[in-house]
Amino acid sequence: MVESTKNIKSYVRKAYEKLYTDGVRHDLPIVQGQDLAWALGYDPCFIQAVPEALWARFFPCGNPVPWMTIEGIEEAKILNLGSGVGLDAFFVAFGKRLRNGAVVNVDIAHEALKQGKNFMDAAKAAHGVKAHIFWVQADADTLPFPDAVFEFVVMNGVFNLFERKDLLLQEVFRVLKNHGAFLLADLMRTGPLPPQWGTAIEAWLWCVNGSLEEQELFGILHTTGFEQVEILRRDCEVEPLWREIIRARKSWSPLPYASGSI
C-alpha cells in the first residue's frame, strides 16, 4: 500500500466526522439516504419514522436485519460495530421487538453517536419500545468489552474501511459468544480493481480500496477461527464490485492436541 495504515485510518476518521457533521451532498450521482433504504429492503414502516437529517448520514452496503433470526432473539445482545447514527439498531430493536436484549452501537465518530442517540431516545419514548440501546465511542481494533458477550456482531458498510482486517476480525471473534454470528455487509470484488480506481486515498472512504475478493475474505475468516462462512446475498453494484451480505459463525469445539504436546 502506498499509504500507511496510520494515514488511512486518520483520513477515514476525519472524513466520516465531517460527513456526520455536514451530511452527504445530494448532488452525488449515487442512490443514498431513504431511497437506498427502500432499495435494500428495509421495513417501510420504520423507514418513514426516520427524519431526513439522519438519512443524509446513513451509509450502508446492505440490509443485514432479516438474517438476525435465532431462537430467543428478544434476549440477544447485538454489537452494531461502526454503527454511525445507529439506524440498523433502530430497525432491529423495533422490528424484532427486543425486550430484555440489547444493541450496543459502537463508532469512532462522537458526532454520529450523539445524533443517533437523540433520535433513538425520542423514538423509544414515542413507540413504547423497551429495548436496551447503548452508545460507545471506541476503535474497532481494541473493543472495550470482555470476551464472548454478543450473539451477533454486525458491520454494515464499515469492514472495508480497515486495512488490517486480520486484527479487526480477531476482535470480532473475541467478543462473540460461542455459536454467535458475524454479519458483514460490504462491497466485494470479483476481480482486480481498474488501475484508476485504486490510486486515490478517497477510494478508501467509499469502501473501494479496502474491498477484497471473496476467497481472500473467506481465507482470513477461516484463519481467524470462523466457520460456516456463507454468502447470503449478492447484488452487482458496478463490475467488479458487488454488494454482499456474508455470515460467519463462531462454532466452539475442543482443539485436538498437537503432535508432541502434553
Q: Which among 77, 79, 76, 31 has a CA at the least distance from the CA of 58? A: 31
Q: What is the pLDDT of residues 92-102, one digit of tens each?
A: 888 766 777 89
The hierarchical CATH code for the domain 5-250 is 3.40.50.150
Angle of the 110-127 helix axis to the 5-22 helix axis, nearest 10: 40
Distance, CA of 64 to chain centre: 9
Cβ-contact 250, 225 below 8 angstroms: yes
Mean pLDDT of 191-195: 85
Contacts of 112 (CB under 8 A, 6+ apart): 16, 20, 57, 83, 84, 85, 86
pLDDT level of residue 29 (50, 70, 90 thresholds): low
For the record, the C-alpha cell of 15 comes out as 472524513
Write phi, then psi, for 181 (nearest 5 degrees). -120, 140
Q: What is the number of other CB atoms lying within 10 angstroms of the CB of residue 147?
A: 9
Please indicate whether residue 183 or residue 35 has the higher confidence score (pLDDT): 183
- What single DSSP character describes residue 192? P
Q: What is the number of other CB atoms lying within 10 angstroms of the CB of residue 75?
A: 13
Percent of the chain with pLDDT over 90: 54
Distance from C-alpha of 239 to C-alpha of 162, rounded to nearest angstrom:
22
Mean pLDDT of 57-75: 84
Specify the residue for cell string 469512532.
108
Q: Could you tell me the residue ranges of all domains in the chain?
A: 5-250
